[in-house]
Amino acid sequence: MSSLLAATRFSVLDRSRTREGHDGPQALRDTVSLAQEAERLGYHRFWVSEHHGVPGVAGSAPTVLAAAVAAATTSIRVGTGGVMLPNHRPFVVAEQFGVLAALFPGRIDMGLGRSLGFTEGVRRALGHGKEEAEDFPGRLAELLGWIDGGQRVHPGVRAHPAEGLAVPAYVLAIGEGASVAAAAGLPLVIGDLRGREKMLRAIETYRRGFRPSSRSERPEVIVAGTVAVAGTQEAARRLLMPEAWAMAHSRTRGVFPPLAPAERVERLPMPARERRLYEQGLDGHVHGTEAQVTEQLEKALKETGADEVLVTTSTYDREALIDSLRRLARITGLRAGDSAPGADGSTGVRRSAVLAEPGAPSERAPRRPQG
C-alpha cells in the first residue's frame, strides 16, 4: 500500500445522475445508498451537488438531499459540492446549514460555488444572473457573517440556529474561485484532475495569496475528479463512457441526457464533432487497474500537494461504480470506521497521518508539491 495514499483523505461527490430506465427519484435514492456504502468503506466525506433544470441530473436541492444522506448515515461527513451562492440569498443559505449542523453536529460541510443556471431560461426561472455571480466574494462574506455573528448588512437580524455553530466552509474553484478562497482564508476544492496544468496554476495562486483566518490557519487543498478502478484497464475505461458521451451530447445538441449503458454508447452513431468530443472526454482521467491508479494518484498528489481527493465519478453501472470505490478504498488503506465520530462529535482522521478537521488548525505541516 502506498504511504502517500494512506496519508491522504479520500471522499466522494455524487451528482445524482439519472440513467436510462431509471427516473429522477431513483437517482436520489441511489445517491443515499452510495453514501451508505462510502461510509462503510471508510471515506471521509460525502457531498452532493446543485443543478437546476438539467434532465440528466436529479440533484436540484443540495441541502435537502444532504439532510437525507446525513439521516441515512451515522459518521461520514456530509455536505454540498456545492450550493451555488448566486442562486440563493446568503441569509437563507445560513439558516439551511444551521438546521443541518444543529441536527447533525460535527458532520456538516458547506461547499460553495459561483456557477449560474445551465441555460438562460433556467437563470430567468431562478431569478438570478451575472450580477450575483460577479458579487460572489461579497455574498460569501455575508454568508460567513451570518454564521459567525459578524454580519452588519442587516442590523438587528440574526440567522437562527446557524449563528455560532461550527459549519466548515469550502470554496469550489471555477475561474477566479482560487483567489476568492485565498482572500477569505478558506479551504479550496478544485477540479479536475485531468486538467492538471490549469489546476496547478490555480493551486499556486491560492497558496501564494492565502490569508490565515479564524476558520483556517493554513491553505487546504482538495482536488476533485473522476477516478475509475476495475480489474482491467478496459473495464475501467468503460466506466468513463456514459459520462463522456453525455457531455459530448450536451455540447453538440444542448441537452444533457440521462446516462446510457457503455455497451449502447459503443454502438451509437455520432456526428464527427460529437465523436471528437466524446473521445476527448475519455482522455486524461485517473483510471485503470489498482496498480495503475495507485501510480496515477501518487503522481497527482506529488504534483498538487493536495490534502484530499474528492472522487466525482459518474457512470451508468452502479454496481461497477461501487466496485470501483471498494478497489480505491483497498489501495488507499481505507477501512470501515475511519470516519467514526469522536467524543466531541467530530469525524475521525486517517490512522496514518495527523490531520485536523476542515477549517481547524492542523498539526501537520501543509503539503507542498514534490519534484
Average pLDDT (12-17) is: 97
- 212-258 pLDDT tens trace: 999 999 999 999 999 999 999 999 999 999 999 999 999 999 888 99
pLDDT of residue 249: 95
pLDDT of residue 341: 53
Q: Is the pLDDT of residue 358 over 70?
A: no
What residues are paired with 77 via a beta bridge? 45
State the average pLDDT for the chain: 89
Q: With respect to CATH, is domain 3-232+287-332 assigned 3.20.20.30?
A: yes
pLDDT of residue 352: 29
pLDDT of residue 344: 36
pTM: 0.90
pLDDT of residue 368: 64
- 265-305 pLDDT tens trace: 999 999 999 999 999 999 999 999 999 999 999 999 999 99
Which grid cell is 104?
447533525
**Residue 264 or 336, more confident:** 264
Burial 97-136 (b: 16+ CB within 10 A, else e): bbbbbeebeebbbbbbbbbbbbeeebbeebebeeebbeeb
Alpha-carbon 145 to chain mean position: 24
- 186-209 pLDDT tens trace: 999 998 888 789 999 999 999 999
- 63-103 pLDDT tens trace: 999 999 999 999 999 999 999 998 999 999 999 999 999 99
Where in the chain are the domains?
3-232+287-332
CB 6: neighbour CB atoms within 10 A? 15
